[in-house]
Amino acid sequence: MAESKKRVPMNHVIGFILSLVMTLVAAWAAIQSDLPVTWVIIGIMILALLQAGVQLFMFMHVTEASSGNGHVPWNMMFHGFALAGILVAGSLFVMSFGHDHGDHGDMGDMEQQEEQHSEDHSGH
């Protein structure tokens, strides 16, 4: 049992405020800003990575010696990434409905459909 001293956990407070600010900026970028869609997406992606970094390094125990110098969290993160891979790739695969309109290259076909979709979107 680690001894806890009666003090304000500054690291956590800063991390908490940082994560709130980043969330608000992301929301602002998506809802209020006049930035082009591509930049909004890139911006949100970057913010998401920073957000994950804040969570992992300021709140979780990535660098702690007692977790095998981060061996345990990296192990879990590997599983997390594997699942995210299944989630994204699986959803794209399923939601494409597997329809290929030609004899070859359903992948290329899928991308084409995707492009058409995004074109429709920006034209809206």
Partner 1 sequence: MHITDILVTGEPIIYGAMVSMALGGLAILFVLTYFKKWKWLWREWLTSVDHKKIGVMYILSALLMLFRGGVDAMMMRVQLAFPDLGFLNSQHYNEIFTTHGTIMIIFMAMPFLIGLMNIIVPLQIGARDFAFPYLNALSFWSFFFGMALFNISFVIGGSPDAGWTSYTPLSGAAMSPGPGQNFYLMGLQLSGIGTLATGINLMVTILKMRAPGMKLFHMPIFTWSTLVTCFIIVFAFPILTVALALLTIDRIFGAQFFTLTGEGLPMMWANLFWMWGHPEVYIVILPAFGIFSEVIATFAKKRLFGYNVMVWSMIVIALLSFLVWVHHFFTMGAGAFVNSVFSVSTMLIAVPTGVKIFNWLATLYKSKIEFTVPMLWSLAFIPSFILGGVTGVMLGMAAADYQFHNSYFLIAHFHYVLIAGTVFACFAGLVFWYPKMFGHKMNERLGRWAFWLFFFGFHVCFFPQYFLGLDGMPRRLFITNVAEWLPLNVISTVGAVGMALGFVVFVYNVYYSFRYSERETTGDSWNGNGRTLEWATTTPVPYYNFATVPYVDEIDPYVRMKEEGKTTFEEDEVKPIHMPSYTGQPFIFMALLGLASFGLIFEWMYLAVFGLIGGVVMMIRRSFDYDDGYYVSVEEIKETEKKARGL
Binding site for partner 1 (CB under 8 A): 1, 4, 6, 8-9, 12, 79-80, 83, 86-87, 90-91, 93-100, 106, 120-121, 124
Q: Which of 50, 56, 57, 62 is nearest to 20 (CA)?
A: 50
**Min separation Cβ 38 and partner 1, Å:** 18
**Min separation Cβ 39 and partner 1, Å:** 21
Q: Which is nearer to partner 1, 9 or 105 (CB)?
A: 9
- Other beta carbons within 10 angstroms of residue 26's beta carbon come to 18
Q: Which is nearer to partner 1, 4 or 32 (CB)?
A: 4
- Measured over the CA atoms of residue 42, residue 46, residue 52 and residue 54, the dihedral's sign is negative
Cα 85 from chain centre: 12
Q: Which is nearer to partner 1, 35 or 82 (CB)?
A: 82
Say which DSSP state 73 is in. Answer: H
Q: Six-digit token pair at 48? A: 């998401």
**Min separation Cβ 76 and partner 1, Å:** 9
What is the number of H-type helices and E-type strands within the chain? 4, 0
Q: Which is nearer to partner 1, 1 or 65 (CB)?
A: 1
**Min separation Cβ 60 and partner 1, Å:** 12
Q: Six-digit token pair at 73? A: 């969290």
